[in-house]
Structure 1
Amino acid sequence: MSFEPTLPRDTARKLRRGQTEAEQKLWARLRRHQMKGLQFRRQYPIGPFIADFVCLETKLIIEVDGSQHADQTDRDESRSEFLRDAGYKVLRFWNYEVIREIDLVVQRIADALELVPRKIRKQRL
């Protein structure tokens, strides 16, 4: 009998282990504070959804969509609406964009980060 994760945390862990080629390529450019010194997390649970990538400091979510999303635009839009209502900005890219034009995708993310205010951090005394 195989175990199927039921908690969002367990599902996110499973998704991190099974990333697509496009997600791996983008993660290589986002991890370790490479993007403007900001920390991104991958496969991060937010409400009933799991975001592909999120920067909590700027509340920017990046979704990398495969061809199956071409048939679920209504579902994706309701998901994006939920996330926007929660205060997040959502950027969507197709897998082929990330694979073929990674520099352009990274530039679009950088441009979006310029427009999104950072949360003010409380400094420790």
Structure 2
Amino acid sequence: MPGRINPPLPARTRQQARNLRKEATEAERRLWLHLRAGRLGGLKFRCQHPIPPYVVDFYCEAARLVVELDGSQHNEDADAPRTRHLESMGLKVLRYWDHEALQQTEAVLESILSIGENRTLTPTPLPRGEGL
């Protein structure tokens, strides 16, 4: 599948993703309720998805969209190389503060949906007369 990010994962990365899923913050749990199972406009997200060398909070493969929730432990300067790396892979990275996900959930979801719908990869039709 074009655009798929599915490299072999080190066992440590897989375990880290599992642990992060089990230890999700309140903001991550709340947002996941709205993102899981295609509930947000049919966009399918994965929670705590490994994209080596990182594990991202949420990932939508169809839109090549990463959603990260930042709490008080996050440092914008420290997150910059991570964001640059993900963007160099052609991914769009959206960052929201935990308090935004908790207190302005609908606005965060609308933002994710708007960007996700605009980035959904659809095949470009062939020019007229060049089909099968």
Q: TM-score range by the shorter chain?
A: 0.7 to 0.9
Deviation at 1:50, TM superposition (A): 0.5
C-alpha RMSD of matched pairs (Å): 1.5
Query: Tell me, what secondary structure is at the counterpart of 1:68?
Result: coil
Equivalent positions of 1:1-125 (< 5 A) are 7-69=12-74, 72-118=75-121, 120=123
Does the aligned pair in 2 maintain the 1:44–1:51 contact within 8 Å? yes
The percent of aligned pairs where both chains have the same amino acid is 40
Query: Tell me, what secondary structure is at the counterpart of 1:118?
Result: coil
Q: May I ask how many residue pairs the two structures share in their alignment? A: 114
Amino acid at match of 1:86: M
Give the 4+ runs in structure 1 shifted more than 6 A. none
TM-score, normalised with respect to structure 1: 0.86
Deviation at 1:73, TM superposition (A): 1.4
**Where does the alignment leave 5 or more consecutive residues of structure 1 unmatched?**
1-5, 121-125
Amino acid at match of 1:74: D
TM-score, normalised with respect to structure 2: 0.82
Post-superposition Cα deviations, 1:19-50, rounded to whole Å, max 9, x if no partner, equal 00000000000001111212100101102000
**Where does the alignment leave 5 or more consecutive residues of structure 2 unmatched?**
1-10, 124-132
Does the aligned pair in 2 maintain the 1:58–1:119 contact within 8 Å? no
Question: How far apart in 1 are the matches of 2:104 and 2:23?
Answer: 22
